[in-house]
Amino acid sequence: MHIIVCIKQVPDTKHVKLDEKTHTLIREGVESIINPYDMYALEEGLRLKDQFGGKVTVCTMGPPQAESALREAVTYGADETVLLSDRAFAGADTWATSYTLAKGIEKLGPYDLILCGKQAVDGDTAQVGPGIAERLSLPYVTWVRKIEEIKDGRMKVQRLMDDGYDRLELPLPALLTVVKEINEPRVPSLKGKMRAKNQKIQVFGVKELGVDPDQVGLQGSATQVVKVFPPPRLKERAWIEGTAESQVTQVLDKLNLLKVI
């Protein structure tokens, strides 16, 4: 099986601070990590490799320093690594990012499965995974909490829902985005750490990918961040207690008082 895992290097949100004026992340001096949800995708890929054989290729788009995230993936057991990096890719929104990643994946040749984390902890959009699948015309399932079975070119998966889970079947190749319930990521191995030191990282830019420069980066982005602001604080809150009936009465009273109904 050839499994491609898409990862993103993000600031370690455990230690990140916000600029009080611009409300953007202060990235200076903050350690970069692999997006935690992507770690579950990587682990699932490694488990499938352990089970079925084959290889795991890890792919990321980012600045040159994102190479360290790929090396880290190798310490866990990833076989090959690809960095999509070019000045032209900067400022990409999810539209341009999914286009670029899809182009990178096409260049990697035949594959059976693409795995992504459900979302990145910095942008929180959860759009890039499905975006890649749409670009590649692949079937996809988001929020996968379990791969039940892979057999005869088809797979059965469970999708986590608010009130339980769905069971879905889809043909391969396909794309899944995974939630943290799917597994518990392993720890790097000594052999992996040794290999990561000398791992050759392939770098693809606009030229190597043969992409249209107008479709990548800021140029190719359909959205722009105009302003970042903290959500308005709710001024007044009230806690309603009592039996269900009395709670309904209390809510109705309040709504009447506010002339909402």
Partner 1 sequence: MDYFLTEEQQMIKEIARKIAEEKIKPIRAELDEKEEFPRELLRVMALSDLFGVYIPQEYGGFGGGAFENCLAVEELSRACLGISTSFAASGLGAYPILLYGSEDQKKKYLPEIAGGRKLAAFGLTESTAGSDAGGIMTTAELKGNEYVLNGTKQWITNAGEADIYSVIAITDRSKGPRGASAFIVEKGDPGFGFGKKEHKMGIRASATGELIFNQCRIPKDRLIAREGMGFIVVMKTFDMSRPGVGAQAVGLAQGALDEAVQFARTRIQFGKPIISFQAVQHMLADMATLTEAARALVYAAARFVDSGAKDLSKAAAMAKVFASDVAMKVTTDAVQVFGGTGYMREYPVEKMMRDAKILQIYEGTNQIQRNIIGQELNKEGGRKKS
Question: Which stretches of the chain bind partner 1, using CB under 8 A?
Answer: 186-191, 193-194
Residue type, 116: C
C-alpha to C-alpha distance for 237 and 154, rounded to whole angstroms:
50
Report residue 96 as tokens. 């341009």
Neighbours of 217 (CB within 10 A): 20
Residue type, 130: P
Phi then psi for residue 3, to 5 deg, are -115, 130
Nearer CB in complex with partner 1: 39/209: 39
C-alpha to C-alpha distance for 146 and 148, rounded to whole angstroms:
6
Ramachandran quadrant class, 58 (left: phi over 0; alpha: psi -120 to 50; beta: rest):
beta
> What is the radius of gyration, based on Cα positions, of the chain?
22
Nearer CB in complex with partner 1: 133/196: 196
